[in-house]
Structure 1
């Protein structure tokens, strides 16, 4: 009888422990869902309204991002949740870069060439991240994957609007980022992030080549006409 009671007690404890784990996993999923839905909702906001209220959007984003990151850190199998988180983060960063570029474009400038180049850099990397000094020291093992994501997704989303000069600049920036990656790899870049970056580069490299050649051919054709 005592043995039966002991086994029953162990079973109840185990059931309670499993229920607790399931509850934590469910709560983590809800946090990720909330984060993903928020980013999607930002994408549906009218551009003018988003730019006008970006400070509030950014504050809410940071809060939800922090909650989602903390939640999945406690998940045993969080690979799928992390993928969703990374995809939404890249989407948000691309939106942020777009609004920042539009804000810069609205400001008066006396040098159209420099302004155009800086606008492109702002869109690819973030406002003011890369200037004429071409300093990539801010890119490290913890953020380099998201930097590649923003760069490549931004270029893909705007490929039809880029000129030959834009593609030349994109190629230059891409090669500079790759050079920084070689340094970051020696500083402890995780194998997982390295694989994700390799997948992004595998997809982007041929697109860069084709679109750059297409832009040059189109420009030559128009010049002849």
Structure 2
């Protein structure tokens, strides 16, 4: 009877271990499947949805990846599972780069529109051919007003873009002056430039300093 009990006990223990192993394998397989499915689902979103919700997408992605990698050792075919994870990682890297590029393009376009109006209407090729002797004063005025109203929200990259646009506008002014720009408008523009230039230089320098300090703190 003792031998029979020992045999039955061993059988139950083995069955329990097998069950646990199967459960672990099933969990691991499910985690890898969920990881792949999640990336597929993100790829299927509209660009606007991706950009608007990227922080949440990234957080959930890291959770799914961690779950898949934490349980992969429970799989018999670990090599195949790792290949699936690596392939999906690469897909996500490419997806993230694409979203980042499109988000930057959208940010630049929105910033440009805030200074000059509809990019489709005025063009954004840095030549500013639409600026002429009749509207150049209003363009400068809008530029200065927009900066005054929004400079506290700008990143260092935003300041760099604004600087490039301002220099391009100044270059266009040199041409417009030869096309009959009135002395009155020219003097008013000079006043706006005198007001804008020192404040822009200060705010841009401050933004760069703040960003460098934040990067330093993050690295510590």
- TM-score, with structure 2 as normaliser: 0.52
Out of 215, 220, 223, the residue aligned to residue 207 of structure 2 is 215
Q: What count of residue pairs does the alignment treat as equivalent?
A: 119
Instruction: Determine if the alignment matches structure 1 residue 121 to structure 2 residue 104.
Output: no
2:148 to 153, 156, 178: 156
- Gaps of at least 5 residues in structure 2 are 1-46, 52-98
Q: Which residue of 2 aligns with 1:14?
A: none
Q: Which residue of 1 aligns with 2:174?
A: 182
Matched, 1:147 2:135: no
The aligned counterpart of 1:78 is none
Matches within 5 A, 1:100-139: 108=48, 110=99, 111-128=102-119, 129=121, 131-139=123-131
Unaligned runs of 5+ in 1: 1-106
**4+ residue runs of structure 1 moved beyond 3 angstroms?**
129-132
Alignment of 1:10-49 (within 5 A): none
Alpha-carbon contact 2:114-2:146 (below 8 Å) kept: yes
Aligned to 1:195: 187
Q: Residues 182, 114 of structure 1: CA spacing in aligned structure 2 closer, same or farther, 3 A cutoff?
A: same
Change (3 A) 1:118 1:179: same
Shift of residue 185, structure 1, vs aligned partner: 0.1
Once the two structures are superposed, residues 98-145 of structure 1 have per-residue CA deviations (whole angstroms, 9 ceiling, x without a partner) of: xxxxxxxxx936500111011110000111155552231000000000
The structure having more radius of gyration, on CA atoms, is 2
RMSD over aligned CA atoms reads: 1.6
**Normalised by the size of structure 1, how large is the TM-score?**
0.51
CA distance in 1, matches of 2:207, 2:123: 25
CA separation of 1:130 and 1:209: change in aligned 2, threshold 3 A: farther
The structure carrying a bigger helix percent of its residues is 2
Determine if contact 1:122/1:130 at 8 Å carries over to the other structure.
Answer: no
